[in-house]
Amino acid sequence: MRISSKGDYGLRALFDLAQRYGEGPIQSDDIATRQGIPVNYLNQLLITMRRAGLIDSLRGPQGGHMLARAPETITLREVLTVLEGPLLPDEPGRETSPPAIPEDHALIDELWAELRERIERLLAETTLDDLCQRKRQRSGSVMYYI
Amino acid sequence: MRISSKGDYGLRALFDLAQRYGEGPIQSDDIATRQGIPVNYLNQLLITMRRAGLIDSLRGPQGGHMLARAPETITLREVLTVLEGPLLPDEPGRETSPPAIPEDHALIDELWAELRERIERLLAETTLDDLCQRKRQRSGSVMYYI
DNA sequence: CGTAATGTAGAGTAAACTACTCAAGAAATC
DNA sequence: GATTTCTTGAGTAGTTTACTCTACATTACG
């Protein structure tokens, strides 16, 4: 139960794109340099995110990547689900030995389902735009002291 | 970001022990059979949980395992932390290429930390005793219809 | 039209982790 | 001292992680 580099790097890349939303395509090289991500690996993640409909990509000179939707419509939940998969595989399928007390089995299964829903609801509360606002607020309060 | 068999099996085993809290040592064979867990694997997990102070174990005939503390003092947070490790390694240490925009890096780092705390708080809300009560309520409401 | 700049697709890989099994040993009870 | 139970550590096949690399497709520009 941990966030892997996919979720970490992927979110950092989307955050980079969110800050430049509306400025046209951003190249993966630039994202990689700014955010400190291995560019080859990032390219893979970008493809995954494009296929999932999070970003649009354009080839050729002046090509690059951009958010497919406005930053306030992209939640952490969607990002992490795309990159990390669900908290538990939908139907676990751990059927090695038969469960002798099916009611206990069902109760724990339901607990996992409930937990997944609660965590996903929590993740859905934060959007890419929230992250941008946080950064703005932060740099803003620093400004006062310069 | 998923619950592995360690967390799943481990919780099922502890739930089994919680339902028999105060009845003395319970053998791993019995737990394994009741909950449908491969016994060799379960033995490993039980050792991990004993070393973490979740259970006490006794060898010899009539030996077995028992919760080290009352079920209402053992939370999902503790169980999953012991068995699955933290949501993110404490200091990620992904320092492959240097982060060109350190403020972005810090912001995402803090987001992960905040998220971890929020999820752990959520997990801390449920104890083993809560699971036992749920089961009791459930079988109770079934009783009315028999 | 050609060439350079970009993303795309898929293969490859070392290391770690998962989900187990197994055998030898230690401790407690009878 | 035999048996029951947990303990320790090794082993292993398969999957995932965290990448790299090569070849290819597409587009823009001159």
Chain A residue numbers with beta carbons less than 8 Å from the beta carbon of B139 are 103
Give CA–CA dist B53/B66, Å, rounded.
Answer: 11
Q: DSSP characters for B50-94?
A: HHTTSEEEE-STT-EEEESS-GGG-BHHHHHHHHH--SS-SS---
Residues β-bridged to residue B67: B55
Segment B6-45, tens digit of pLDDT: 999 999 999 999 999 999 999 999 999 999 999 999 999 9
Mutate one of B1, B40, B76, B78 to test the A interface: name it (highest A CB count within 10 A): B1
pLDDT reading at A134 higher than 50: yes
Q: Assess contact for B38 and B32: CB atoms under 8 A.
A: yes
Percentage of residues in chain A with pLDDT exceeding 90?
A: 82
Q: What pLDDT band is residue A87 in, cutting at 50, 70 and 90?
A: confident
Q: Does the pLDDT of residue B140 top 90, yes or no? A: no
Residues in contact with B91: Cβ distance below 8 Å, sequence separation at least 6, in sequence order: none
Strands (E) in chain A, as ranges, are 55-58, 64-67
CATH number at residue B39: 1.10.10.10
Q: Is the CB of B37 under 7 A from strand D?
A: no
Distance A95 CA to D21 C1' (A): 40
Can you give the distance from the CA of residue B90 to the C1' of nucleotide D14 in angstroms?
28
pLDDT of res. B90: 62
Identify the residue with better confidence: B53 or B90.
B53
Residues 6+ apart with CB under 8 A from A132: A15, A18, A19, A71
Q: Can you give the residue range of the structural domain that contains B12?
A: 5-143
The CA–C1' separation of A49 and C20, in angstroms, is: 34
Q: How far is residue A105's CA from residue A113's CA, in Å, rounded to a whole number?
A: 12
Q: What is the pLDDT of residue B87?
A: 82
Spatial contact of B29 and B15, defined as CB atoms under 8 Å apart = no
Please tell me the distance from the alpha carbon of residue B134 to that of residue B146, in angstroms, as a whole number.
19
pLDDT value at B144 more than 90: no
Q: What is the mean pLDDT of chain A?
A: 92
Chain A CB contacts of B106 below 8 Å = none
Residue B108 has its nearest CB partner, among A12, A34, A98, at A12
* Residue A2 predicted with pLDDT over 50: yes
CB contact under 8 A, B32 and A97: yes
Q: How many domains does chain B have?
A: 1
Amino acid at the residue B82: V
- Rounded mean pLDDT of B86-98? 67
Task: Please report which confidence band the pLDDT of residue A89 belongs to, taking 50, 70 and 90 as the band edges.
Answer: low
* Residue to test with chain B: of A1, A15, A126, most B Cβ within 10 A: A1
Contact (CB<8Å) B96/A123 = no
Residue B146: predicted pLDDT: 45
In angstroms, rounded to a whole number, what is the distance separating the alpha carbons of residues B111 and A80? 13
Pick the closest to residue B8 from B28, B35, B44 (CA basis).
Answer: B35
Confidence of residue A45 (pLDDT cuts 50, 70, 90): very high
**Rounded alpha-carbon distances, angstroms, from residue A40 to A32, A37, A73, B92:** 9, 9, 28, 20
A142, pLDDT greater than 80: no
* Residue A146 binned pLDDT confidence (cut-offs 50, 70, 90): very low
Give the confidence band of A52 by pLDDT, cuts at 50, 70, 90: very high
Instruction: State the average pLDDT over residues B93-99.
Output: 66
Six-digit token pair at B122?
Answer: 């959520």
